[in-house]
A and B are shown apart, each in its own frame.
Chain A
Amino acid sequence: MNKSFLITRPNHDYATNYLFCWSASIINLARRKNFRVVDLSKNEASPSLRAGGGFIFMSDPLMVTKPLRDTTAALFLKPSNLVASTLLKGHSASEADVRAKKAFKRNIRKLLTSETQKEDSSVLRFLFWDMKHQVCLGDAGASL
């Protein structure tokens, strides 16, 4: 029997629209890995189901109709997507946590170079916050 993968994707405001679009690749990966995907999207996903983790991300409103091409948001959402994609590939929860944090660190390092424009480096404070506040709770060795 296939394993099931439940994802809740509300899409009722600017931020959830970004997360809705960026999580599509996770759903595709789950399907490729033969998971039975239960996608509670848009109105099926109550906003009250959202985790109140305070995940912070910066984005470019000019890209609101094409969030996947927003390079500012990608600095945040690519690392955070790594948590789910690493788990879907069968790795442990702690490995998923470590890989995502490494991706945050890579982005932070890139932005610390002297060639980075001041405007771009303004995202550092938020990337650092996300990296520091991502936690892996429960059984760190658990895997799918």
Chain B
Amino acid sequence: MTKKKIIRSKISDAEIRKLVVERLRTLPSGKQISIGNQGSFNKDELIEKVELGDSLGKKIIKVELEFLRALKKGEFFDEQEFSDN
């Protein structure tokens, strides 16, 4: 039996921030994103917040990572998780 070699490398916070920033660049420029009572922001302002690493930036990172994890798990195509029942 062949053993699958699992390579786990730790991704740094800086790399995660970079990934999130690149993903945020795909947002349309002309839209506003309103976040709770923290205000409304355009794409460039969100990128700035992520680069700055303040509380809003951290929240945006969470939003992106949760979405990416769901994509990886195939949640959107999981009949049980994503059915109307």
Contact = CB atoms under 8 A, between A and B. Distances in A.
Interface of A: 13-15, 18, 47, 50, 52-62, 72, 102, 105-106, 108-109, 112, 118-119, 122, 124-126, 128-129, 132
B76 A52 contact: no
A128 B36 contact: no
Which bucket holds chain B's interface residue count? Answer: 20 to 34
Given A15-B40, A56-B36, A105-B82, 6 more contacts: A14-B34, A18-B34, A59-B32, A62-B30, A128-B67, A129-B67
Contact of A52 (B27, B33, B34, B37): B37
B36 A60 contact: no
Interface of B: 26-28, 30-40, 59, 63-64, 66-67, 70, 76, 82, 84
Contacts of A50: 37
A37 to B, nearest CB: 24
